[in-house]
Amino acid sequence: MKRVAEVVGQRAQLIAGANSARPAEIVELGLFAKRLGYEALMLAAPYYSLPTTAELVDHFKAVAKAVKLPIVLYNFPARTGVDLDSRFYDGVSNVAEIVAIKESSGSIARMYDHIVNRAKKLELVCGADDQALDYFLWGSRSWVAGASNILPAEHVALYDACVKRRDFIGGRAIMDKLLPLFLLMEGGGKYLQYVKHGCELLGLPIGQVRAPLGGLSNEEKANFARLFSVARGAGMRSKAA
C-alpha cells in the first residue's frame, strides 16, 4: 500500500483493499491507508467465519465509524462464503460512508436488483469481467477488472465505447474478442495464474503464484495464449485510421 501511494501519488484516486478475517486488523489497515492519502476502502465480508446478515451489518458500521473513509462494498460470496444480500443493504442504508458496490456474485439478477433498489444512493461497480458490457448498458460507470493487468488498452477501449460514447454496437464488437478469454479466466478457477501468465506473455516476468496455488499445464497455457492473441488489440484503431 505504501509503495502504490509513492508511485501513484496524486495522479489517480487511491482505493485500498483492507481485508482481513479480523475486524481490528481491517481498522488498522484502513487507518494506515488513510494516513497514506488513500481516499476510500474496498471491503469484502470477513472470510471463513460466515457471519450472519445482522453481524455483517454491525461489522461494516463499526469499520465505517472507526476509519471514516468512503467504503466500496465488495460482494464476492464464492470467496467469502457469505452474500451481501438485500437484507444487508437495508441494514446499512443509513451508513453515509458506504458509497458503492463492487458486485462479483456473477448474478445478472443481482445487478438488476442494485439498479432498481440502490442506484440512487450507491454507485454500481462491475466486478465480473465477463459482464462488463451488461453493466455499462444499464448505466454503470465503474469497473474493477483483474484482466486489465494484461489487457489495459483493450479495457479502456471498451469503457470509452460504452461509457463515454454510448456506442454499444462498437462495445459489443470489442467484447466479442474479449469475452472468450474472460470466460476462461472467470470460470476455470485459475484466474490468478492466467493473469500472471498473461504478464509473462507481455514480457513482464513477475513470477509464479504463491502456494498453495499451482501453475498452469502446457495445455492450459496454449489455450490461454490462443484466446489472448484474439483479445489483444480489441477496439484499437490502426495508425492509418
Q: What is the DSSP string of 161-216?
A: IIIIS--HHHHHHHHHHHHHHHHHHHHSS-HHHHHHHHHHHTT----PPPTT----
Kindly give the pairing relationship between strand 98-103 and strand 71-75.
parallel
Is 102 among the residues known to form the active site? yes
Q: Exactly one of 47, 61, 65, 74 is catalytic; which is it?
A: 74
Is 135 among the residues known to form the active site? no
Cβ count within 10 A of residue 119: 13
CB 115, CB 138: distance < 8 Å: yes
Q: Exactly one of 38, 102, 177, 196 is catalytic; which is it?
A: 102
Distance from C-alpha of 40 to C-alpha of 194, rounded to nearest angstrom: 28
**Cβ-based burial of 228 (10 A; exposed 0-12, middle 13-18, buried ≥19):** buried
- Annotated catalytic residues are 74, 102
